[in-house]
A and B are shown apart, each in its own frame.
Chain A
């Protein structure tokens, strides 16, 4: 069977290294906060000090299970998120800010600079359906719609 293997792209290297350094920095910060040495962490995890040293080295490629144990030993937990979803939430926040601004000033597009409209529009219109998901703000939504879509 032919195995297809290619060089990693810089973006792939970046995410690999981010995964490792985010983990290592979290461990270092937690150890510093508790005043723990590598020996102390090794004892907590039931591994050798050399294994902790290796875990925190730039060339490390620890197993997920060892990562889980290290996090657990320091009371940490890994969380995964979808960056696109985060952008969506960000868009909702901006939309809410925009609605609040419209409501508080009873204003229209004329009160905003083109740049402000552009920023709010790009962030707030991440989801077109957002316009109809806030029944309580129906009037404001309609105003916003007129203000930035018109």
Chain B
């Protein structure tokens, strides 16, 4: 008999999408990271966004296959540990290419090591990551059903 999905519509829409899988880890995107990433490829006329849409999947695949050592810190890096309550903190990482940044957390998801991208900044002007977006990446991660 088919089991009823008891999750709310909001919870179902917050299901991370697998975008790369390899021997080292899986890479998932969810929420604004997912919609932002999908939107990059549609950014006709914005060459930086088009370039990011071409390159980020390569970074995801390389991370998934080999891990962070296969990318340099201009492609992927740890930003900071963000406190999320109960005395816990989560380390936030970013994939970046041109002005696009995908922020997320490395965790164990569906039984495997995974990067789960939860926030993004697609028009980043300064070199330094925006602390509000980093905090949002950590708090959005709390919505992901681990």
Contacts and interface: CB of A to CB of B under 8 A. Distances in A.
Contacts of B69: 32
A57 interface: yes
A7 B48 CA distance: 12
A115 interface: no
Nearest to A56: B72
A21 B74 contact: no
Interface string B4-48: 000000000000000000000000000000000000000001010
Q: Is the interface of A mostly helix, strand, loop or mixed?
A: helix
A13 B54 contact: yes
How big is the A interface, by class?
A: 10 to 19
A17 B54 contact: yes
Nearest to A10: B50
A78 B98 CA distance: 25
Interface string A7-27: 110100110111001001100
A17 B53 CA distance: 10
Contacts of B72: 24, 28, 56
Contact of B96 (A10, A16, A58): A58
5 contacts: A17-B51, A21-B55, A21-B58, A25-B62, A32-B69
Interface string B48-71: 001100110010001000000111
Interface of B: 45, 47, 50-51, 54-55, 58, 62, 69-72, 74-75, 96-98
A34 interface: no
B74 A58 contact: yes
Nearest to A29: B70
A118 interface: no
B70 A32 contact: yes
Nearest to A8: B47
A8 B45 CA distance: 9
Given A29-B70, A56-B74, A58-B74, A14 B45 contact: no
Nearest to B97: A58
A10 B50 CA distance: 7
Nearest to B69: A32
Contact of B50 (A13, A28, A53, A57): A13
Contacts of A56: 72, 74
A29 B72 CA distance: 10
A132 interface: no
Nearest to A9: B50
A18 B62 CA distance: 14
